[in-house]
Amino acid sequence: MKGDMKLVNTADIEGTLSTVTYARTPVGTIDYEAYEGLDAKIIVNKLEINVKIIKARKRFGHLDLLVIPTSGTGEVWVERKNIKINNDPALKAKPAVEVSTHKSTEKTTAEITLEMVQEFLAKQNIPSDKE
């Protein structure tokens, strides 16, 4: 599942707009798998329901979590903003993003000159501004 789309934040069922953070992979996309198996609570009209998250998805810019009650039956998709997650993976330290560079690429980039570009353009029959 792709996690590159921006997620939106809207008011919860009580009309409160609060900041929601999301678990992310090392490359910055939403980490859907980080939510699977976590315990959480849904609060509806002052009633707290203990649930377990079994799946996550992106729907129209919102992160939805499929939950089942820890006691009872059924399942329901709940928007992330309407659920309190125990040990929220979004609050854990974010892994560092590793960026590696290839030495030959650095060297090649550093050695390209204006003359080389003009020669390439001439071979492609592309006029150069400097000619």
Q: How far apart are CA 93 and CA 45, in angstroms?
A: 33
Report the pLDDT value the prediction gives residue 127, as an integer from 0 to 100: 63
Tell me, yes or no, whether 61 and 106 share the same domain: no
Report the pLDDT value the prediction gives residue 123, as an integer from 0 to 100: 78
Tell me, yes or no, whether 51 and 106 share the same domain: no
| Domain count across the chain | 2
Tell me, yes or no, whether 107 and 90 share the same domain: no
Report the pLDDT value the prediction gives residue 85, as an integer from 0 to 100: 93
- Please report, to the nearest 10 degrees, the dihedral formed by the alpha carbons of residues 96, 17, 79, 48 taken in order: 110
Tell me, yes or no, whether 111 and 128 share the same domain: yes
Tell me, yes or no, whether 82 and 110 share the same domain: no
Q: How far apart are CA 53 and CA 7, in angstroms?
A: 19
Q: What is the CATH classification number for the domain harbouring 9?
A: 2.30.30.140
Is the separation of the CB atoms in 47 and 24 below 8 Å? no
Print the domain residue range for 4.
Answer: 1-98
Tell me, yes or no, whether 73 and 27 share the same domain: yes
Report the pLDDT value the prediction gives residue 120, as an integer from 0 to 100: 74
What amino acid occupies position 10? T
Tell me, yes or no, whether 92 and 113 share the same domain: no
| Average pLDDT, 10 consecutive residues per value, the chain (131 residues) | 55 65 83 93 88 93 92 92 89 54 46 73 68 50
Report the pLDDT value the prediction gives residue 6, as an integer from 0 to 100: 62
Report the pLDDT value the prediction gives residue 49, as an integer from 0 to 100: 92
Tell me, yes or no, whether 17 and 52 share the same domain: yes
Report the pLDDT value the prediction gives residue 104, as an integer from 0 to 100: 46
